[in-house]
Amino acid sequence: MKKTAYYASPVGELCIESENEKIVAISFNKDSRQEVNTSPVIDLCIAELEDYFSGKRKFFSFEMELRGTDFQKRVWNELLNIPFGKTISYEELAICVGNIKSIRAVGLANGQNPIAIVVPCHRVIGKRGDLVGYSGGLENKKWLLQHEGVLTPQLSMF
């Protein structure tokens, strides 16, 4: 049975969904809320997200299930190998997946990641270090990378 809850994070409200005691989706909530029907794995997910956002956690331990094509799952599993505080380019991700020519398909799969933040698609950046593409918005991508110490906030002169 599908369960749903919401978490007010520093990057906006997140909708968290589970089925069979596995997290199947964490998305930026842009729609009206569904009925809240939580589960133990959602409660654990929220606790771990709170630890992540407070700087106490770099890894997540709750069970999740990635749902997509075999190619998408291969890309998403590679995202899980990007360490906290590190980034890679879309080109590097394509090479990790096994085919540099699949860079556009890798970018598309990255953008369709169903478990935001935990499957760290925000850690994939442009070849020249630019912040490109993020379904949660570039400001949130920037915030997450600053939170992980990848980017330092610019000091204002005024």
Q: Which residues are catalytic?
A: 121
CA distances to 16, 75, 117, 128 from 67, in Å: 15, 12, 16, 31
The Cα–Cα gap between 133 and 135 comes to 7
Residue with tokens 């970018």: 107
